[in-house]
Structure 1
């Protein structure tokens, strides 16, 4: 899925994962709407400039993130509490306070999606698991197990198309209505589950025979380490956060400095 390789692709995957995880936890404590607006905008620019997806895939991912953000904000906007009522219709009540809190939740959801996309669009899964084993000392049996499961996903997708084509040839796909859809899902689920169980058993036996569970004295085909790009990444993320706090105090876009109050 990765089309372009930017400098973010050269950052150690484990280090990148830890920094983004720390940002997730730290941003949960931010209740200033201005800070959330600025920090979301700055990380959004970083993603647009340095993501590794092509334009079409990147646009679809952003659209899904935007839809998720809107859905997460509507509940608080329409049903939140507040004293300054802006709109009221039956059980739908929109106040200034609920609007600010809803926008804050939506921005936070969109920001978390952007941070996740920054990691996903600039990280190869194989290198990520190798980095987990080498830098974070994840047991190889778990890391290689995740890698094997990751490789099986395209096979399941291909099997799904084969099963669907076989059912169309035999005329089984012609059943309509709720009952027909139920039997259709049942046929797909049972077939795919049976194939996955057999494949998982063969994979487990093969991995055990080749000593993938060995934790000591193991050599690796891919070597990952720390480089100057890790320091650049840390400085970039820190500067974005600090710049967002400075801009929120010098150039506030809303009067809401604490949506909790």
Structure 2
């Protein structure tokens, strides 16, 4: 339900080009996170930092290189003349980046991946082949990370010289990636054999050990997000 309502909010916000709608929506999403979630705000700021830089880039480049230069000039610096239309477009693009990124982080930081995949299987009838493939791949990520470090350490013990140039280090990563890829392929084959040996056919199930149900909390979440969406899209009426 959270995935559906967040996707609906993103598609709806894509049709609004004024700066106030994404601003109100972004502030409302932050309030929802503060009031109803228990996320690590240090991690949130770390993940949001690239999006802040991207939003500033959109803002600056739209002001400087915008095609629409008609209208009253509100600020000038050298050869750069900023009109009201340019400022509205720049603010709209940058605030949309912040609104979409905050929604994505809200979903990522408050969602258990395993529970989400099980819910997709039960509520949206996702194919078990795709679902279990995603789960297996997700479980492999920390293993691949550990193997990457182990291969690097083994190569250093065998006398592989660490390159100082950034370009040389980039080309030297193939010495790590090739054995890492070979090990990943072997693990994928063993996982496939193990699933077949345990009777996994990929057919849809009628019953589940861990049942994901839709309850009152999901309904409340939908109501809150729809209220925020409607309030943001009608901000000119509410805020004048």
Which TM-score applies when normalising by structure 2?
0.88
Of 77-86 and 105-114, the range deviating more from structure 2: 77-86
Partner of 2:184: 196
Runs of 4+ in 1 over 4 A off after TM superposition: none
How many equivalent residue pairs? 237
In 2, the alpha carbon distance for the partners of 1:235 and 1:241 equals 10
CA contact (8 A) 2:18 2:89 kept: no
- How far did residue 206 of structure 1 move? 1.8
Q: CA RMSD in A?
A: 2.2
Shift of 1:181: 1.7
Match status 1:174 vs 2:162:
yes
Q: Secondary structure at the match of 2:173?
A: helix
Quick one: distance in 1 between partners of 2:167 and 2:44?
Answer: 38
Structure 1 residue ranges without an equivalent (≥5): 1-14, 253-261
Q: Does 1:184 align with 2:204?
A: no
Residues 51, 98 of structure 2: 8 Å contact kept: yes
When normalised by structure 1's length, the TM-score is 0.81
| Structure 2: gaps (5+ residues) | none
1:63 aligns with 2:87: no
CA contact (8 A) 2:128 2:204 kept: no
What displacement does 1:162 show?
0.9
Quick one: which of 96, 101, 104 aligns to 1:108?
96
Distance 1:55 1:179 in 2: 35
Aligned to 2:114: 126
Deviation of 1:245 after TM superposition, in Å, equals: 4.0
- Give the match for residue 31 of structure 2: 45
Give the structure 1 partner of residue 199 of structure 2: 211
What displacement does 1:225 show?
A: 0.8
